[in-house]
Structure 1
Amino acid sequence: TELISFARPRSWRILGQVQRAFIVVEEEDGLELVDQHAAHERILFEQYQDGQEIPVQRFLIPVQVELPFDAAEALRAAIPMLRKIGVELEPFGQNAFLLRGWPAVLAERQAKLGFLEPLKEVAETWRAGNRALLELWRRVACAAAIRAGEELSPTEQEALIAAWKETREPARCPHGRPVAVKITFEELAKKLGR
Structure 2
Amino acid sequence: MSCVPEKFDSLLESSKMPSSEWRSAPFWALNGNLQPEELRKQIRGFHANGLGGFYLHARTGLETPYLSEKWFECIDAAVDEAKKLNMEAWLYDEDRFPSGFGGGLITCDPKYRAKGITLKEVAFQDAATEQLPETTLALFAAEVNGNHAKNVRRLSAGTFRSELKERETLLIFYTDTVARSTWYNDYTYRDTLSVEAVRKFIDLTHE
Q: TM-score, normalised by structure 1?
A: 0.18
Greater share of residues in helix:
1
Greater share of residues in strand:
2
Larger relative contact order (Cα-Cα within 8 Å, sequence gap ≥ 6): 1
Q: TM-score, normalised by structure 2?
A: 0.17
